[in-house]
Chains A and B, each alone.
Chain A
Amino acid sequence: MRGAFKKNSFIERSLKGVFLVFKDSVLSEEQASYPGFLQSIDPRVKTATFLLLCIAVLIARNIYLLIFLYLFCLSLACVSRVSLRFFIKRTWVFIPLFSLLIAIPALFSFISPGEPLFSFKLFGLGLVITRPGLAGAVLFVARVATSVSLVILLGLTTRHATLLRVLRVFKVPQIFVMVLGMTYRYIYLFTEIVEHTYLAIKSRTGGLIHYKKGQSIVAWSIANLWQRSFKLNEDVYGAMLSRGYTGEPVLLEGFRSSLKDWVWFCSVAIIFVFIILSKIWMS
């Protein structure tokens, strides 16, 4: 009856993937505490300037400007003591995901007509890559790569909790910021519970289990996790009340900007203005 048994490799792989993401996230928190350039900038100013740079990337239509912005981003990573290898690896994982599905069809003449560069046959269908198609696809990939790099660099050089606090500057209600923070805090705890539950099941059942029993165990684990989270929710609310919470949280923002932050802000603003002006001149 071996056919009636299934390996839980899918569940195992998924859980391992989730744990890896969390561990990776913890590692990136470490990078946020390095004594680098971006880490020393006031998080509010840093977020605002990265927002400006992202807008600049969206506006820029010149590949050289995009390459300049991408190299600027890489140099920022260097002076912020972020490992360039780790940073590039992390960035380029996302780029095919966001760009290839759109960029590849844009290469061909049926989407971007123009001067043909290269033609070939696929399943009897004649395909032509055009110059405007290639230029558009390169511009698109460069834009995605630079935007993703900027966002990842902001995440790597700023603690997640601090990024949440920055939301207050953009007038996000305190309760929302607090709930987000608590979600982030407890997701680790629940991941640990799931990991331990899975290991406990595995230690008692071995690697193989009948799929019906497996379904029942998974359903029980989900119910158990829900029950635990419900209990935790009640207890945490008690702990908040105990320390004076009355429904309107008061949070400390505690940001302080210095001359260095404003010099950085002005430098980014100059780049932003230059890109806007270049767009005007080109058009």
Chain B
Amino acid sequence: MDELIFKLNNVHFSYLHKYPALCGIDMEISKGEKIAILGANGSGKSTLLQLLDALIFPHKGRVEAFGRELNETDFNAASFCRDFRSKVGLVFQNPDIQLFCSTVKEDILFGPLQLGLDRLRIKQKMDAIVEDLGIADLLERSPHQLSVGEKRKVSIATILIIEPEVILLDEPTAGLDPQTARHIMDIIIEANASGKTIITATHDLHIVEEIADTAYILNRQKQIAKRGPVGELLLDEELLKSHNLTHIHKHRHKDEVHIHPHQHIDHHQH
């Protein structure tokens, strides 16, 4: 049996105890898996990632990580906190949240310094990561001077340097040009190939097949509508349409205007 990393059992979470964000979520994620969490805007994808990163805790139900239930009081213990934070990394959707230091270099070093890693080792890892991501020339710049694509790459670097077992990504390709999006996807695929568990929240279906093997679809009731292999779910047009993951596409073939539902995948059939 594969090593279980996360186990969620009937998890409920609401903001201000008034506005439900997740209702009765059950999930099991094993080591090395590539998971996609799909859903329309406001379906609770980001909230779910924050729960998995133990930034928020369920109001009802259980979240287990690495065989232990997560609760707020455990994170007061420095050793547990450090252990968990070095195993799980979250790349936020908005890079302006992720990059809060004065320079790119400080941002990349922030995580490993807080986690007490050896300084020489940090330096070596940083050199390797910035080289891989092609961001070496950005190190001394302030995050506000970067383009969206550069910010996204730096955000990923801030997590990769920690070398976590699990990488959570919130809409990693949103707002990126195709070439930068491709680069980000390659980074994700490479991280998974090196044994890391990848959990990506997105509604961009054309990247899902590459960055995930299994997908969960969240519905408007903030529940899991369906779980299954990505290939199967992407073929279920009705399911995708009912969860706002396809749209009506209108275009012209010679003189004829043609209308059909359109998934955001590379090859769609007419």
Which residues from chain A sit less than 8 Å from chain B, CB to CB? 26, 29, 33, 159-161, 164, 181-182, 184-186, 188-189, 232, 235-236, 238-246, 249-252
Contacts and interface: CB of A to CB of B under 8 A. Distances in A.
Contacts of A246: 78, 81-82, 114
Nearest to A160: B102
Interface in B186-237: none
Contact of B92 (A29, A189, A239): A239
Contacts of A245: 110, 114
B217 to A, nearest CB: 25
A161 B90 CA distance: 25
B114 A159 contact: no
A185 B100 contact: yes
Contact of A29 (B109, B142, B162): B142
B102 A188 contact: no
A250 B102 contact: no
Given A242-B55, A244-B81, A252-B109, A159 B100 contact: no
Interface in B77-94: 78, 81-82, 85-86, 89-90, 92, 94
Contacts of B92: 235, 239
B85 A244 contact: yes
Contacts of A239: 90, 92, 97-98, 100
Given A232-B97, A243-B114, A161 B103 contact: yes
Given A26-B145, A232-B97, A239-B97, A185 B78 contact: no
B4 interface: no
Q: Chain A binding site: helix, strand, loop or mixed by DSSP?
A: helix
B115 A252 contact: no
B143 interface: yes
A251 B113 contact: yes
B109 A240 contact: no
Nearest to B102: A161
A165 to B, nearest CB: 8
Contacts of A241: 55, 85
Given A235-B94, A252-B109, A240 B100 contact: yes
Interface string B112-139: 0111100100000000000000000000
B106 interface: yes
A242 B106 contact: no
Interface string B151-162: 000000011001
| Top 6 closest pairs, chain A to chain B, by CB | A161-B102, A244-B114, A243-B111, A188-B144, A181-B102, A244-B85
B140 interface: yes
B102 A244 contact: no
Nearest to A159: B140
Chain B CB within 10 Å, residue with most, of A164, A242, A245 = A242
A249 B101 CA distance: 12
A166 B14 CA distance: 44
B53 interface: yes
5 contacts: A159-B103, A239-B92, A241-B55, A244-B82, A250-B114
Contacts of A252: 106, 109, 113, 119
A249 B114 contact: yes
B96 interface: yes
Contact of A236 (B85, B100, B119): B100
B146 to A, nearest CB: 11
Interface string B30-65: 000000000000000000001001010000000000
Contact of A185 (B55, B102, B109, B116): B102
A185 B102 CA distance: 6
Contacts of B96: 189, 232
Contacts of A236: 97, 100
Contact of B102 (A164, A189, A243): A164
Contacts of B50: 238
A47 to B, nearest CB: 16
A161 B162 CA distance: 23
B94 A242 contact: no
A159 B158 CA distance: 22
Contact of A238 (B55, B119, B144): B55
Contacts of A29: 142, 145
Nearest to A241: B55
Contacts of B142: 29, 161, 185, 188
Given A239-B98, A239-B100, 19 more contacts: A29-B142, A33-B140, A164-B102, A182-B101, A185-B99, A185-B101, A185-B102, A186-B100, A232-B96, A235-B94, A235-B97, A236-B100, A241-B85, A243-B111, A243-B162, A244-B82, A244-B86, A245-B114, A250-B113
